Structure 1
């Protein structure tokens, strides 16, 4: 199974890369037009990121590099890592257009230490929608720990595992917990021609993906067992895209989506930070 999920998901993400770089939601042109422009995700993260200028940082599962370039604009010496060569080709174009130096490296996450070198980074950054493509959260945490220098920091903002457990396909005002909350041995297998941003009607031909959920306790325990010390855990009631269509509204004040009805019912994302020993 280990090789199969990588091949299946890589074909899907190779195809998504072209759709996403052309999608209005990614605003790729803004990076070349405005030297101060940051992605919405990194702009949201800034109060918790703090000053990252001068840090050696790696963005795991960087996709087309919009967050990676944004972090470089905040002063970090950035490396972006992704398993999709098509995504990395687009990421290099985004960085070149923005005039920002970023090193992009092709590797799956579990091979990151071999691809990049151990104990090399002051900051490991992982963004929303990343770790759900990985089958083993403990192995992910060990990889992060292996990349960090002593005292280096993990920063992850992710979709909350309770959000991933909600089946968005069930219509109506209620929230139905129909999908696994905890990590399972077997993946969730999806077949979807659409992606998560507006693509002008263009659809995918490589429609199958494999994904896994990881409970918040499983993530925290994996980080601790990998020898890191947790310094912050914040749950948010907002998410960068309309994760539950028809049940959310866009909050312009933060540039994210919230539940319209009783938003206090459901955490949508979280930020976790930890330091390497």
Structure 2
């Protein structure tokens, strides 16, 4: 595990379980919400799934299970890959309360057990802004391709690269040149919700943000066929792009 990944693990295990309870409810409360309308809990991502029943989904950096559990309720066989034991604890408790099963592998994404999971999944799914945690996007995309069966689909939704030059999502992270390739240190995503004294104690993360062309080219150059690229408005200002979703297929060998 690389030094920066160790740091990310510390950040994402800092009071994470209590954070989820405080912000999205106890596992029982969250499970009730998930069960009421799992499609609604998937939000815009539901549009990118062709089906759910029996579909094997790898939820990359799936955090507290906020999308994994709705997928499981719809019949998908979900495996979450995430670096945080605290996230796992919350997700498993919510799944138990919801009456569904999810698998949860606590690991460095770049060290996923490919002996076990090579060409195992029908769908690889990520959302919520994760690409900036990985300093080599080509290596990351190579792992994603390895997880997918031939004919499988990658749903990659992330923060729009314009966040490099504007804090349009109010994440309170530094801005820079759009074309910067620098790795920079900044607070983890939840730090802004804590009091100043606690924020000072929280471990920081080391990020690398990418341009649109870097993201698209990494998908293409790692053997995917890009099928669709959608841009979504910022939740703070609808005039600006806030997120994107790339849909890519791993083609069958000819």
Q: Which of the five TM-score ranges fits, normalised by the shorter chain?
A: 0.7 to 0.9
Match of 1:220 in 2: 216
Match of 2:22 in 1: 23
Following TM superposition, by how much is the alpha carbon of 1:50 offset from its aligned partner in structure 2, in angstroms?
3.4
Q: Which of residues 211, 227, 233 in structure 1 aligns to 2:229? A: 233
The alignment status of 1:190 with 2:193, answered yes or no, reads no
Partner SS state of residue 54, structure 1: coil
Instruction: Please tell me whether the aligned partners of residues 155 and 271 of structure 1 are also in contact (alpha carbons under 8 angstroms).
Output: yes
| Distance in 1 (alpha carbons) for counterparts of 2:115 and 2:80 | 11
| Distance in 1 (alpha carbons) for counterparts of 2:30 and 2:169 | 34
Match of 1:209 in 2: 205
Match of 2:245 in 1: 271
Structure with a larger share of its residues in helix: 2
Match of 1:247 in 2: none
The alignment yields a C-alpha RMSD, in angstroms, of: 2.8
| Distance in 2 (alpha carbons) for counterparts of 1:76 and 1:114 | 21
Partner SS state of residue 63, structure 1: coil
Following TM superposition, by how much is the alpha carbon of 1:203 offset from its aligned partner in structure 2, in angstroms?
3.5
Match of 1:132 in 2: 132
| Distance in 2 (alpha carbons) for counterparts of 1:168 and 1:82 | 26
| Equivalent residues, number | 246
Give the TM-score normalised by the residue count of structure 2. Answer: 0.85
Match of 1:155 in 2: 155
| Distance in 1 (alpha carbons) for counterparts of 2:189 and 2:93 | 26
Following TM superposition, by how much is the alpha carbon of 1:207 offset from its aligned partner in structure 2, in angstroms?
3.2
- Cα distance change, pair 167–32 in 1 and its aligned pair in 2 (3 A): closer
Unmatched tracts of structure 2, length 5 or more: none
Instruction: Please tell me whether the aligned partners of residues 20 and 199 of structure 1 are also in contact (alpha carbons under 8 angstroms).
Output: no
Following TM superposition, by how much is the alpha carbon of 1:164 offset from its aligned partner in structure 2, in angstroms?
3.8
Instruction: Please tell me whether the aligned partners of residues 180 and 213 of structure 1 are also in contact (alpha carbons under 8 angstroms).
Output: no
- Cα distance change, pair 217–147 in 1 and its aligned pair in 2 (3 A): same
Instruction: Please tell me whether the aligned partners of residues 167 and 179 of structure 1 are also in contact (alpha carbons under 8 angstroms).
Output: no
Instruction: Please tell me whether the aligned partners of residues 66 and 94 of structure 1 are also in contact (alpha carbons under 8 angstroms).
Output: no
Following TM superposition, by how much is the alpha carbon of 1:128 offset from its aligned partner in structure 2, in angstroms?
1.4
The alignment status of 1:179 with 2:176, answered yes or no, reads yes
